[in-house]
Amino acid sequence: MNWKRTTAALGTTALAWGMFAGPAHSATTATTAVPPTPATQVALPPVTTTTPASARNLASDHLTVGIRDQLLTTGRLSWTPTSGIPFDSDYQYISGPGPGTPQDMKPATILAFAKGSAAEGQLPVASYFRMDGNTWGLARNPAACQGSCTLGDAAKRNLDHLNDPAFMQQYLLGLVATFQALDAGYKGQFVLHVEPDLSGYGQMLSNDRARCAEDCIDSAPLDSPTAVRAAVSSAHLTGLGDYPDTMQGFFLAVAHLRDLYAPRVSLGYHVSGWATANVYRKTGIDKTTNDINQGTVPVDATVLGARVAAFAAADGAARSLPAGLPGPATTPYDLLFNDILDHDAGYAAAGGNTHYWWDTENIDLPNFARWESYLGTITSRTGLPATLWQIPLGNTVYSVENNTYGHYQDNRVQYLFDHLREVQAAGVTGLIFGAGNGDSTYQFDRLLDVTDNSRIVCTTLGSHSQKLLCPSRTASSTDDDGGYFRERATAYFAAPLPS
């Protein structure tokens, strides 16, 4: 099984780590747009790789399970080596203040992470959150989105950056440098999860032209990445001039740069459960239609899944690419990523939104069965496998999960481990668990607090029958989740589900 057998020679690298949680999905606020900054012509570096695309191999003999671990400054993992659990993969967020800035993420950071994960027999997965940084270049100039936008509308901010030639020139040069570092210094398998949320933002705003404003092309069709502006050709990098200045051009150019500079790297394309939502996601209760993740309105999940699959295929995320895609020919994206929540459900409920609790009886909405139908349609239509990513770690088993900071409840770990064949039938080949923010439950003793079993918090959320569910087990482990994930993962790897 190739994920578990990857090894690499390790070097010692002193690094300032630029990895932290990805952007929050905040409520819409007013924005101040400025004209995109023109980019001057820059030549891409020469291609030196000799690695063929056939070197990419994510095959596994079982449904894989991974985790987000804390990193030491050397790039080594801190928790999994002592857990005794043979996890298949580890993911980290790759983020920072903005492309090209002095304190931004460095390619050496990703390289050290790759080597550190491989040293533990784990597939390194880098979630490349680069579009959200609000500065670019050595002068730390503001990018196109300024003012309240920096704290408000994440979707518009990302599309503003995507449409800024100077920002995108730095972004693409940084991506090339990352590919070069991986190709030269690492010979194992590696997954680059390209811009989580970005395609969802693009699809949502392609259907909301008033909000998309200057970041959309009025004459282009709805529900299409050809409608969303992106500075690709106008980033003025030699070799990318044949790609259109659209979101489609961006995703195809990323695949092209991978093919040129790091063919061994597998690319992940993100599909969001809210990509078709008819109103922007809000931090409060959201009853909008066409939102799989938290919408309470009945919808045809297969129809929505087909729309997202078509959007993805147009971006190069399909086993068989559509005819007539622009630019030089590329190999497709290798897999899909999908996130079902970026917070524990108990955290959201504490803020007044109970719709993050999915019904485990699959009657009320939202629920797991509707999501499986949605994702299953996307995987079957694109022909690509899916990895569930950033799965919350809360549970309703241990009394230490009392809906306080770092100890919020959720039902996803329980449901997913109890229904693995069902999840696998939706085209899922891997699960990667990990808290999406600092408030959520972690699988280890992140808080270094006292294990408190004295406050038992019961809930009726997450089940149609509204059965009162009270944590029944007292935690002896210092893990912030009471040790539940450790127990389930250990049991899983004793008898993993065959592929």
Helix (H, G, I), strand (E, B) or coil at 204: helix
Query: Which residue, among 104, 106, 163, 158, has the nearest Cα to 136 in the 3D structure?
Result: 104
Tell me if 357 is assigned to some domain.
yes
DSSP string, 130-144: -TT--EETTTTEE-S
Tell me if 33 is assigned to some domain.
yes
Provide the residue range defining the domain that includes 405.
Answer: 2-494
Tell me if 424 is assigned to some domain.
yes
> In angstroms, how far is CA 55 from the centroid of its own chain?
24
Handedness of CA 475, 479, 483, 485 (dihedral sign): positive
> In angstroms, how far is CA 306 from the centroid of its own chain?
20
State the CATH number of the domain containing residue 99.
Answer: 3.20.20
- As a whole number, mean pLDDT of residues 41-59 equals 93
- In angstroms, the CA 169 to CA 167 distance is 6
Q: Is the pLDDT of residue 143 over 60?
A: no
- As a whole number, mean pLDDT of residues 270-294 equals 75
- In angstroms, the CA 119 to CA 259 distance is 26
- In angstroms, the CA 264 to CA 62 distance is 22
Average pLDDT score over the chain: 88
Tell me if 138 is assigned to some domain.
yes
- In angstroms, the CA 368 to CA 364 distance is 10
pTM: 0.91
- As a whole number, mean pLDDT of residues 288-312 equals 93
Tell me if 499 is assigned to some domain.
no
- CA dihedral of 213, 217, 223, 228, whole degrees rounded to 10: -80
Between 13-27, 92-106, 189-203, 376-390, the lowest mean confidence (pLDDT) is in: 13-27
User: Which residues, 6 or more positions from 46, have their beta carbon under 8 angstroms from its beta carbon?
Assistant: none
User: Which residues, 6 or more positions from 487, have their beta carbon under 8 angstroms from its beta carbon?
Assistant: none
Q: Is the pLDDT of residue 38 over 90?
A: no
Tens digits of per-residue pLDDT, 144-154?
Answer: 555 545 556 78
Tell me if 459 is assigned to some domain.
yes
Between 11-25, 95-109, 236-250, the lowest mean confidence (pLDDT) is in: 11-25
Give the confidence band of 8 by pLDDT, cuts at 50, 70, 90: very low
pLDDT at position 285, please? 47
Tell me if 461 is assigned to some domain.
yes
Q: Give the total number of structural domains in the chain.
A: 1
- In angstroms, the CA 252 to CA 295 distance is 31
- Measured from the Cβ of residue 133, the count of other Cβ atoms closer than 10 Å reads 24
